[in-house]
Amino acid sequence: MNRQSTFKALVVEEVDGAFTREIKSKLVSDLPEGDLLIKVHYSSLNYKDALSASGNKGVTRKYPHTPGIDAVGIVLSSKSARFKSGDQVIVTSYDLGMNTDGGFSELISVPEDWAVKLPENLSMKEAMIIGTAGLTAGMSVLRLTETIEPEDGEIIVSGATGGVGALSISILNKLGYRIAAITGKETARDFLMKLGADTIILRSDFEALANKPLLKPVYAGAIDTVGGVILENILKSTNPMGVVTCCGNVASPKLELTVFPFILRGVTLIGIDSQNYPMRYREQVWNKLANDWKPDNLADTCTEISLNELNDKIDLMLRGELKGRTVLNMVD
């Protein structure tokens, strides 16, 4: 493919302080220099993509820009000894889709260090149903299961209808854990029960728990995706020696609580940074997700869309009206 060849991409532009999104034709020469030129087969829509697509300068500093922090596809050309033309690879996080043009595009050009070979037993579409959200869920489950066994008690998952939450529930269910799911959507009960949740808790009820330094210990562990009051009450409600992972702050980045959960109950709070997760652990989690941790109901967590439908889905995500995973098919 020569540098004057064209491809399609969603392009976000800033004009007089306003942001627009449009599918445009671009040249291969427009792509950044990289070790791998990849034909994208699938991408997926994440909250960070929606922020980038709406002009959030905390995510993307310069426009025009193509979001998409997830991509999977086939290597067209390689300057790397690790990958060859024809290899199927996954690229998630690092700077993809943030300040480097991302997966909402038919082509991407990236450093070799950002890529993982697609594991056996995992299709390209399945890899994007999992995506950064599933990788984050897998990292969270990995850290949780280092300490907490299924017989230790119930695991509570916040943001349960979101990508990380839904896939965390699916993986935990696969591993035999009992799960309580926190959601703000009363209509999501059947969806969450089908994923494997045993108990459904409305977000408003959980946020309204008594404002005390400690609450009754109920949960053996937790996967929190939202932060704020939800995380505060999870920590206050965790059993002695319990483990809580946190990976998001959509509710709030602030925590207002005492040290009592940590020094009186020995609760452990583990932060999950999927963006720069070391490659050796990244490969470990991807292989688990392709095998023992692969949810039985992956397709149930996914809506597949075309590039032409992406704009509307971004708006829905920004309004908090999407559930599960949205996968972008770039080849049909």
Q: Centre a 10 Å sphere on the Cβ of residue 78 and count the other Cβ atoms it contains.
A: 20
Tell whether 191 is covered by a domain. yes
* Cβ contact 2:67 at 8 Å: no
Q: What is the dihedral of CA 50, 174, 184, 216, to 10 degrees?
A: -130
Tell whether 142 is covered by a domain. yes
Tell whether 284 is covered by a domain. no
Q: Give the integer Cα–Cα distance in Å for 295 and 299.
A: 9
pLDDT number for residue 68: 97
Q: What range does the domain containing 83 cover?
A: 6-118+298-329
> Which residues does 57 contact at the CB level (< 8 Å), separation at least 6?
none
Domain boundary among 271, 289, 314: 271
Answer yes or no: do 262 and 137 share one domain: yes
Answer yes or no: do 74 and 48 share one domain: yes
Number of domains in the chain: 2
Tell whether 42 is covered by a domain. yes
Answer yes or no: do 137 and 264 share one domain: yes
Answer yes or no: do 110 and 235 share one domain: no
* Residue pLDDT tens, the chain, 332 long: 677 899 999 999 998 889 999 999 999 999 999 999 999 999 999 989 999 999 999 999 999 999 999 999 999 999 999 999 999 999 998 999 999 999 999 999 999 999 999 999 999 999 999 999 899 999 999 999 999 999 999 999 999 988 899 889 999 999 999 999 999 988 999 989 998 999 999 999 999 999 999 999 999 999 999 999 999 999 999 999 999 999 999 899 999 999 999 999 999 999 999 888 888 889 999 999 999 999 876 776 689 999 999 999 999 999 988 877 899 999 97
Answer yes or no: do 186 and 311 share one domain: no
Answer yes or no: do 212 and 314 share one domain: no
pLDDT number for residue 311: 95
pLDDT number for residue 186: 87
3-class DSSP assignment, residue 177: coil
Answer yes or no: do 50 and 147 share one domain: no
Domain boundary among 253, 271, 289: 271
Rg (CA), the chain: 20
User: Model's pTM, two decimal places?
Assistant: 0.86
pLDDT number for residue 320: 82
Q: Give the integer Cα–Cα distance in Å for 70 and 7.
A: 18
Q: Give the integer Cα–Cα distance in Å for 329 and 332.
A: 6
Answer yes or no: do 150 and 220 share one domain: yes
In the block, which residue shows the tokens 């949205």? Answer: 326
Pairing of strands 325-329, 36-45: antiparallel
* Cβ contact 117:268 at 8 Å: no
Distances (CA, A) of 203 to 186, 239, 248: 9, 20, 16
DSSP code at position 275: T
> What CATH number is associated with residue 235?
3.40.50.720
Strands (E), 18-177: 18-27, 36-45, 70-78, 88-92, 107-110, 115-117, 155-157
Please write down the long-range contacts of 214-219, taking CB distance under 8 Å and 24 or more positions apart: 214/260, 214/261, 214/264, 214/265, 217/242, 217/265, 218/154, 218/156, 219/153, 219/154, 219/155, 219/156, 219/180
Tell whether 277 is covered by a domain. no
pLDDT number for residue 322: 82
> What CATH number is associated with residue 95?
3.90.180.10
Q: Give the integer Cα–Cα distance in Å for 62 and 100.
A: 10
Answer yes or no: do 175 and 55 share one domain: no
3-class DSSP assignment, residue 309: helix
Answer yes or no: do 230 and 314 share one domain: no
Answer yes or no: do 10 and 137 share one domain: no
Q: Give the integer Cα–Cα distance in Å for 225 and 164.
A: 7
Tell whether 146 is covered by a domain. yes
In the block, which residue shows the tokens 């490969």? Answer: 283
Q: Give the integer Cα–Cα distance in Å for 134 and 247.
A: 12
Tell whether 322 is covered by a domain. yes
pLDDT number for residue 301: 67
Of the candidates 63, 22, 29, 42, which has an alpha carbon nearest to the alpha carbon of residue 106?
42
Answer yes or no: do 140 and 240 share one domain: yes
Tell whether 183 is covered by a domain. yes
